């Protein structure tokens, strides 16, 4: 049995574990439940936060029509980019306040949901979103937030994370707080059908990364372990089916559940070095988060397994990888299989293919070590070790 510590607390020898989730509604067609959720939260005037691509899908007009049919006053902001910018959140806040909104519905992937969280933070607390970098900086309760994810991977619809791109510093800022967990997550697998194949692949590898980092985290607990192991087993058998056919209803439901359970695991166990190193890369070169994770994850597994391979042995067992001589060899095999899966679903094999150059490594290393996710990595790396891992991933 692994030693457990971190976000869980030991008081007078008694272990206390926290496990926080929103209300969750999941199943084909459940987008219809969003108006009821909003009304149940006491919202009459709300803003839909989404992106321009989703305006061209059936889901945006369906949601807006259902909200208006419930006699709700609806405005919208669709100027969210992948890797949302601080300026976009400020612009969305202006729209929110001008429309005298009382709550938010986020329709989109992790970037959209994170942007909606940013608006909620500022609506309640004021200031500039980058002021809230770190843990529990937003002190006042946020306005009601309903999340309707359109990807199966980010977990932002159930998480206490908000990730914002700081263009001036060329990195992503991690904002963490229990108040950032949405009030209701409405997970309709139909919404995955209109995602491009590459987005399905990136999102799926993000979910797998969440499972692995949450399970290995120093802040894991029995509840997060159960969620992580279940999620990785489901994602491993489903991701390629959904990449091949985003409209496959069975694969969509499986991946929706996998992303949900992975999100429940990582929001309570936090993450590790893969995410701490991924965020600066995404901020610097504006590459897809899931693709960056897929490149870095095998390298981080091998680094962490040098100190303790056992979590990776258990993860390998969950996806049907047999033990290979020693525990470290099994962890190494898991890392190899993740790299092979990423290649099969069409993701790039290196950071170099994503635009990272060797001269970037110094600034990436500094930003990675400052990222809050590094605190719960099972092995605390030096600057030289982080730079070496980045170099290996080039």
Instruction: Please tell me whether residues 106 and 180 are part of one structural domain.
Output: yes
Q: Domain for residue 220, yes or no?
A: yes
Q: Which H helix or E strand runs over 11?
A: strand 9-11
Instruction: Please tell me whether residues 231 and 180 are part of one structural domain.
Output: no
Q: What is the CATH number of the domain that holds 51?
A: 3.40.50.1970
Note the pLDDT of residue 164: 96
Encode pLDDT of 170-186 as tens digits.
Answer: 899 999 999 999 999 99
Question: DSSP letters of 325-370?
Answer: SBHHHHHHHHHHHHHHHHHHTT--SSSGGGT--GGGHHHHHHHHHH
Q: Show the tokens assigned to 93.
A: 């806040």
pLDDT bucket at 13, cuts 50 / 70 / 90: very low
Nearest in space to 202 (alpha carbons), one of 110, 272, 294, 271: 294
* Residue 97 reports pLDDT greater than 80: yes
Encode pLDDT of 238-265 as tens digits.
Answer: 999 999 999 999 999 999 999 999 999 9
In this structure, is the dihedral angle defined by the CA atoms of residues 344, 345, 346 and 348, taken in order, positive or negative?
A: negative
Note the pLDDT of residue 12: 38
Expressed as residue numbers, the domain containing 35 is: 30-187
Q: Domain for residue 53, yes or no?
A: yes
CA distance 371 to 63: 36
Nearest in space to 113 (alpha carbons), one of 87, 62, 151: 151
* Residue 10 reports pLDDT greater than 60: no
Note the pLDDT of residue 322: 86
Query: What percent of the chain lies above the pLDDT cut of 70?
Result: 96
Q: Domain for residue 259, yes or no?
A: yes
* Residue 40 reports pLDDT greater than 90: yes
Instruction: Please tell me whether residues 104 and 176 are part of one structural domain.
Output: yes
* Residue 87 reports pLDDT greater than 70: yes
Instruction: Please tell me whether residues 143 and 259 are part of one structural domain.
Output: no
Note the pLDDT of residue 51: 95
Average pLDDT score over residue span 21-38: 97
Helix axes of 273-285 and 383-393: crossing angle, nearest 10 degrees? 60
Of 146, 165, 187, which marks where a domain is finished? Answer: 187
User: What mean pLDDT is reported for the chain?
Assistant: 94
CA distance 209 to 232: 9
Q: What is the CATH number of the domain that holds 305?
A: 1.20.1090.10
Nearest in space to 144 (alpha carbons), one of 181, 183, 179, 114: 183
Instruction: Please tell me whether residues 182 and 227 are part of one structural domain.
Output: no
Instruction: Please tell me whether residues 379 and 230 are part of one structural domain.
Output: yes
Report helix, strand or coil for 101: coil
* Residue 1 reports pLDDT greater than 70: no
Instruction: Please tell me whether residues 131 and 211 are part of one structural domain.
Output: no
* Residue 45 reports pLDDT greater than 80: yes
Instruction: Please tell me whether residues 150 and 243 are part of one structural domain.
Output: no
The phi-psi region of residue 190 (left if phi > 0; otherwise alpha if psi is between -120 and 50; otherwise beta) is alpha
Instruction: Please tell me whether residues 151 and 78 are part of one structural domain.
Output: yes
Of 161, 187, 213, which marks where a domain is finished? Answer: 187
pLDDT bucket at 15, cuts 50 / 70 / 90: low
Average pLDDT score over residue span 6-19: 50
Q: Total domain count for the chain?
A: 2
Q: Domain for residue 1, yes or no?
A: no
Of 169, 187, 205, which marks where a domain is finished? Answer: 187
pLDDT bucket at 2, cuts 50 / 70 / 90: low
Q: Domain for residue 14, yes or no?
A: no
Instruction: Please tell me whether residues 205 and 155 are part of one structural domain.
Output: no
Q: Domain for residue 345, yes or no?
A: yes
Instruction: Please tell me whether residues 318 and 213 are part of one structural domain.
Output: yes
Encode pLDDT of 348-380 as tens digits.
Answer: 999 999 999 999 999 999 999 999 999 999 999
Q: Domain for residue 25, yes or no?
A: no
Instruction: Please tell me whether residues 169 and 209 are part of one structural domain.
Output: no
Q: Domain for residue 318, yes or no?
A: yes
């Amino acid at each position: 049995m692994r030693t457990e510590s971190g976000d869980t607390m030991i008081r007078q020898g008694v272990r206390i574990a926290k496990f926080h989730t929103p209300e969750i509604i999941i199943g084909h067609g459940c987008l219809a439940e969003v108006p009821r959720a909003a009304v149940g939260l006491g919202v009459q005037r709300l803003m839909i936060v989404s992106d321009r691509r989703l305006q061209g899908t059936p889901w945006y007009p369906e949601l807006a029509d259902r909200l208006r049919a419930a006699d709700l006053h609806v405005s919208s902001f669709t100027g969210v980019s992948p890797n949302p910018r601080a300026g976009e959140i400020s612009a969305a806040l202006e729209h929110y306040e001008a429309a005298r909104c009382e709550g938010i519905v986020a329709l989109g992937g992790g970037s959209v949901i994170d942007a909606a969280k940013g608006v909620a933070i500022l609506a309640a607390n004021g200031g500039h979103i980058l002021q809230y970098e770190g843990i529990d900086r937003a002190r006042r309760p946020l306005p009601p937030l309903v999340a309707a994810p359109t990807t199966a991977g980010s977990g932002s619809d159930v998480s206490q994370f908000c990730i914002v791109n700081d263009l001036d510093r060329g990195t992503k800022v991690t904002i963490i707080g229990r108040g950032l967990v949405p009030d209701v997550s409405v997970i309709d697998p139909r919404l995955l059908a209109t995602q491009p194949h590459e987005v399905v692949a990136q999102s799926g590898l993000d979910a797998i990364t969440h499972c692995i980092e949450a399970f290995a985290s120093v802040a894991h607990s029995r509840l997060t372990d159960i969620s992580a192991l279940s999620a990785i087993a489901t994602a491993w058998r489903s991701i390629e089916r959904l990449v091949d056919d985003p409209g496959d209803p069975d694969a969509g439901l499986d991946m929706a559940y996998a992303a949900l359970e992975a999100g429940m695991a990582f929001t309570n166990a936090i993450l590790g070095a893969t995410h701490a190193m991924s965020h600066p890369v995404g901020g610097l070169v504006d590459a897809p988060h899931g693709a960056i994770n897929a490149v870095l994850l095998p390298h981080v597994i091998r680094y962490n397994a040098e100190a303790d391979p056992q979590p990776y042995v258990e993860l390998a067992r969950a996806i049907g990888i047999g033990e290979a001589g020693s525990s470290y060899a099994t962890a190494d095999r898991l890392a190899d299989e993740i790299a092979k899966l990423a290649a099969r679903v069409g993701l790039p094999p290196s950071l170099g293919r994503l635009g990272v150059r060797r001269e970037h490594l110094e600034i990436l290393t500094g930003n990675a070590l400052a990222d809050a996710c590094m605190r719960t990595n099972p092995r605390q790396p030096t600057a030289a070790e982080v730079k070496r891992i980045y170099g290996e991933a080039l």
